[in-house]
Amino acid sequence: MRTRWLLPLLLVVSLVFAACAAPAATPAPPETAQTEGAQAEGGQAETGGLPFEGVEVNLLTFTGPQIAEPLQRRAPDFQALTGAKVNVVVVPFSDLYQKILTDLATGTNAFDAFVFAPQWMVDYIEPGYLEDLTDRVNADPDIQWDDVAPFFREFSATYNGRIYTIPLDGDFQMAYYRIDVLEEAGLEPPQTWDDYLRIAEAVHGTDMNGDGEGDYGSCISKKRNAQAYWFIYSIGGGMLQSQGTAQGAFFDLETFEPLVNNPAFARALEIYKATTQFGPPDELNLDVGDTRGLFTSGRCALSVDWGDIGTLAIDPETSVVQDKVGAIILPGYTQVLDRETMELVDCDENTCPYAIDGVNHAPFAAFGGWSGGINAAADERVKDAAYAFFSYMSQPAQSNVDVTIGRTGFNPYRISQFENIDLWVEAGMSEEAARNYLGAIKASLDSPNMILDLRIPGNQRYQQVVLDLALSQYLAGEITLEQAMQNIYDGWEEITNELGRESQLAAYKATLGITAGE
């Protein structure tokens, strides 16, 4: 098996990070950004006044404040430049997928544009609901498309060789740790998940922020109907996938049976539940925003999250852990799942060809990064204005600033954002912290064993409905470990049988870069 684009992609990313020591030119501040990218399609302004005077764009995204905040903050500036008014409407994350699908499928078309999870795009593209943006992007020099890192161009924006969304954010999960807490305890950052549990237990109950109260060894979001279901693959991925990205972590490549009823997934469930022993007492009800707040207020020694903690940690208004936060690639395992025997086997050069010091890591591209798409049924002028807004938000002059501000929820996704250390230092990181943060991103993006998130028809039902329910019931003690695995297996098989096993398998292989016959 091989991937069509991953290896050259990783090579490009490696070359990008090799240049990190040499700062790139600092982008112009937002107020001085050129307006061409905020013009009509192809960047050409209409003559006689503002190009989109009187146009309104209704844009739907999730409640936030992450993601919605930069859209709302920059919409007035965009209106001043172009005349287009962008109305940002928000709904809870648990409702967003269905709200978009219902609006499009019923022909209600109350919304002209959406900022959503790119892994959902297949369910909107196949019926023809999303506008193909390829020609617009190709005609728009101001978006600087080649500056978007290849992984996000391919995974977050493109489907079947055509561009359907504009990346505004880059997402995959990493592990975070308190440098000072671990140093005081004489502990090294976790390389394996056994290390993670051992460290969490050792420091749990320690006062980590000087308020005289005991704090927590680990803080990981576990709230149902939020985003907690991604964490099980950040925890278990290092056992489930060891042969590279094209192996995948969700389904068997021959039968399309779910890889959820085996010792590796069982161990991941056990670890996920075990972290609760060293977390806040109400952790089962905490969303990622809650655990981030606990971490930046100095109450957590370890956490798993997207890139947000790195930037939130430097906010002087909310953080007490400036220059005390380390970031690393997700911990891994010294044993992995043998898919022939469905047993765990020790890592060696054959079972774990990408292992580092005997540990198999599998960084997880959870979610992929919030991206903007456009309703194909919208008025042409409204579509032009919506594209211009996404281009404006994504252009380096705006995005290079927004990704350094923790409250935006935007994480780096452009090459210039990885190259320019000064960008992060100016935002408030020390040079050491910036190199540590970007180094963890580099280690993840460089990994030939990165797990791609599920991006097949019905993925929201597989993950956000079936997986999320079983996880929440297991963590709450409502069902056993065996019942949780069987419920996920049965639920996923039901969806597969409904949608068609052969077509789902073909779609799954395509997302992994496996061509027909491989």
User: Tell me, what's the pLDDT at 151?
Assistant: 86
Mean pLDDT of 471-492: 98
Higher pLDDT, 41 or 106: 106
**Domain co-membership, 83 together with 153:** yes
DSSP state for residue 340 in the 8-state scheme: T
How are beta strands 451-452 and 174-178 bridged, if at all?
A: unpaired
CATH number at 276 reads: 3.40.190.10
Task: Give which of 104, 140, 170, 217 is closest to 411, Cα–Cα.
Answer: 170
**Domain co-membership, 371 together with 357:** no
- Domain closes at, from 407, 439, 471: 439
Distance CA 420, CA 422 (A): 5
Q: List the structure tokens of 455.
A: 């991006």
Answer whether residue 515 shows pLDDT above 80. no
How are beta strands 371-374 and 166-167 bridged, if at all?
A: antiparallel
User: Tell me, what's the pLDDT at 514?
Assistant: 66
Answer whether residue 9 shows pLDDT above 90. no
Residue 22 inside a domain? The answer is yes
Q: Give the SS3 label for residue 288.
A: helix
**Domain co-membership, 362 together with 221:** yes
The CA-atom distances, in angstroms, between 492 and each of 24, 459, 468, 489, 504 are: 47, 10, 12, 5, 11
- Domain closes at, from 421, 452, 483: 452
Each residue of 340-392: pLDDT tens digit?
999 999 999 999 999 999 999 999 999 889 999 999 999 999 999 999 999 99
pLDDT band with cut points at 50, 70 and 90 for residue 27: very low
Answer whether residue 172 shows pLDDT above 90. no
**Domain co-membership, 337 together with 192:** yes
Instruction: Estimate to the nearest angstrom the gap between the alpha carbon of 172 and the chain centroid.
Output: 4
Residue 468 inside a domain? The answer is no
Answer whether residue 48 shows pLDDT above 90. no
Answer whether residue 7 shows pLDDT above 80. no
- Domain closes at, from 452, 485, 503: 452
Answer whether residue 37 shows pLDDT above 60. no
Each residue of 125-161: pLDDT tens digit?
999 999 999 999 999 999 999 999 888 998 889 998 8
Residue 480 inside a domain? The answer is no
Mean pLDDT of 174-184: 97
Cβ neighbors of 67 (< 8 A, separation 6 or more) are 61, 115, 168, 169, 370, 408, 409, 410
**Domain co-membership, 194 together with 162:** no
Angle between helices 263-274 and 193-203 (to 10 degrees): 20
Q: Is the peptide bond before 127 cis (omega within 30 degrees of 0)?
A: no
Kindly report the number of other CB atoms within 10 A of residue 55's CB atom: 21
| Beta-bridge mates of residue 359 | 356
The CA-atom distances, in angstroms, between 30 and each of 88, 279, 398 are: 20, 40, 5
Handedness of CA 363, 366, 368, 369 (dihedral sign): negative
**Domain co-membership, 154 together with 283:** no
**Domain co-membership, 245 together with 390:** no
Q: List the structure tokens of 112.
A: 């002209």
Distance CA 407, CA 424 (A): 15
**Domain co-membership, 430 together with 376:** yes
Q: Which ranges in 318-477 belong to alpha helices (H)?
A: 380-394, 396-402, 415-419, 421-427, 431-446, 459-460, 468-475
pLDDT > 70: what percent of the chain?
90
Task: Give which of 235, 243, 248, 239 is closest to 345, Cα–Cα.
Answer: 239
The total number of structural domains in the chain stands at 2
Higher pLDDT, 470 or 8: 470
Instruction: Estimate to the nearest angstrom the gap between the alpha carbon of 317 and the chain centroid.
Output: 25
Answer whether residue 205 shows pLDDT above 60. yes
Residue 472 inside a domain? The answer is no
**Domain co-membership, 40 together with 120:** yes
Distance CA 86, CA 391 (A): 13
User: Tell me, what's the pLDDT at 28?
Assistant: 35
Q: Which helix (H) or strand (E) holds 147?
A: none
pLDDT band with cut points at 50, 70 and 90 for residue 501: very high
Each residue of 211-237: pLDDT tens digit?
999 999 999 999 998 777 899 999 999
Mean pLDDT of 182-196: 98
User: Tell me, what's the pLDDT at 199?
Assistant: 98
User: Tell me, what's the pLDDT at 156?
Assistant: 86
The mean of the pLDDT values for the chain is 90
Residue 44 inside a domain? The answer is yes
Residue 310 inside a domain? The answer is yes
| Beta-bridge mates of residue 158 | 163
Each residue of 89-122: pLDDT tens digit?
999 998 999 999 999 999 999 999 999 999 899 9
Answer whether residue 40 shows pLDDT above 90. no
Task: Give which of 490, 471, 485, 486 is closest to 226, Cα–Cα.
Answer: 471
pLDDT > 90: what percent of the chain?
78
Residue 471 inside a domain? The answer is no
Distance CA 411, CA 417 (A): 9
Q: Under a CB-based contact definition with an 8 Å cutoff, are residues 216 and 299 in contact?
A: yes
Poorest-pLDDT segment among 57-61, 64-68, 234-238, 373-377: 64-68
Distance CA 102, CA 177 (A): 41
**Percent of residues in the chain assigned helix, strand, coil, to nearest 5:** 45, 15, 40
**Domain co-membership, 206 together with 193:** yes
Kindly report the number of other CB atoms within 10 A of residue 254's CB atom: 8
Answer whether residue 22 shows pLDDT above 80. no
Each residue of 428-459: pLDDT tens digit?
899 999 999 998 988 888 899 999 999 999 99
Residue 46 inside a domain? The answer is yes
Each residue of 257-310: pLDDT tens digit?
999 999 999 999 999 999 999 999 999 999 999 999 999 999 999 999 999 999
Distance CA 422, CA 431 (A): 8
Question: What residues make up the domain containing 373?
Answer: 6-171+367-439
Distance CA 324, CA 283 (A): 23
Type of residue found at 166: I
**Domain co-membership, 135 together with 240:** no
User: Tell me, what's the pLDDT at 46?
Assistant: 42
**Domain co-membership, 339 together with 387:** no
Cβ neighbors of 66 (< 8 A, separation 6 or more) are 289, 308, 407, 408, 409
Distance CA 47, CA 44 (A): 9
Kindly report the number of other CB atoms within 10 A of residue 234's CB atom: 26
Q: Which helix (H) or strand (E) holds 11?
A: helix 6-18
Q: What b-and-e string marks burial along 467-499, b requiring 16 or more CB atoms within 10 Å of the CB?
A: bbbbbbbbbeeebeeeebbebbbebbeebbeee
